[in-house]
Amino acid sequence: MFFLQKFLGAFFTLPGILVTVPLCLFLRSLIKKKATWSFLFLALLTYFFSIGGGLYLLPREAPSRDATATPQAIVVLGGGQVSSFLRTYQAFLLWEKEQIPLILSGGKIEKGGKTSEAEIMKELLLSWKVKEEYIYLEPASRTTWENALYTTEILREKGWQNFYLVTSEVHLKRACFSFHHLYPEAHIVPVSSNPVYNFSTFSWMDFLPSGEAFSAWIEIIHEYAGYLFYRIVYGVSSST
């Protein structure tokens, strides 16, 4: 009964219903002896990108780090309300151990908004009893590239070449590329604030459509596309 409940719940709610509908249309076309294979293809494609099982096939290595570097600062990149909270909390845990400056990078979440991500993260840290003199703000950036561009100005001004870079696991590759490109002499210690998907246990439920898996795939595709774009645009420009 438990399996049946989970199965029906997965395939008759979003995103599973997006698998069920084209599959039913395909079966209907078979019954009418006019097989429409595009329906089956759509059902299989949607199924793959709505389950967590396929996520285990993707590489998860974090960008390489310089183990000999002693970080002088903690750089935190904003990324929306939930991600920014998780990244800020991870940075707070580092600060508790290291007691080194924090640089909070992120512009306004919404167009015309009054508060930047950097300011929101600062308020969180202050509420967790982090002393204000440890906090530096970069409240103008709107993209990962601008995160690196504007934050690097602060790092260079302070003479900090070694730093932690805190962001979501899926975002680390693009973020590290940006900072390495703009600050090649820096030694970066990448720190993941949260994985894109719950990889703690692998079970049959990873093969049922779920909103978590569907969102994870969207985020991964977004990051892969962003990283490829950066490699093409900024990688080519740096070599010419």
Helices 144-158 & 172-182 angle (0-180, nearest 10): 50
Helices 2-11 & 17-31 angle (0-180, nearest 10): 80
Are residues 111 and 81 both part of a single domain? yes
Q: What is the mean pLDDT of residues 48-76?
A: 85
Count CB atoms within 10 A of the CB of residue 29: 16
The predicted structure's pLDDT at residue 60 = 78
Are residues 109 and 174 both part of a single domain? yes
First to last CA, the chain: 63
Are residues 28 and 83 both part of a single domain? no
What is the Cα–Cα distance from 234 to 49, expressed in whole angstroms?
Answer: 30
Are residues 187 and 80 both part of a single domain? yes
Q: What is the pTM of this model?
A: 0.90
The predicted structure's pLDDT at residue 236 = 58
47: pLDDT strictly greater than 70: yes
Are residues 82 and 166 both part of a single domain? yes
Closest listed residue to residue 183, CA positions, set 163, 201, 203: 163
Are residues 105 and 50 both part of a single domain? no
Are residues 172 and 106 both part of a single domain? yes
Are residues 38 and 119 both part of a single domain? no
240: pLDDT strictly greater than 60: no
| Token duo for residue 110 | 């919404």
What total of structural domains would you count in the chain? 2
Closest listed residue to residue 72, CA positions, set 93, 51, 88, 95: 95
| Contact predicate 63/176, CB 8 Å | yes
The predicted structure's pLDDT at residue 239 = 42
- Domain residues for 164? 73-192
Query: How many residues are there in the chain?
Result: 240
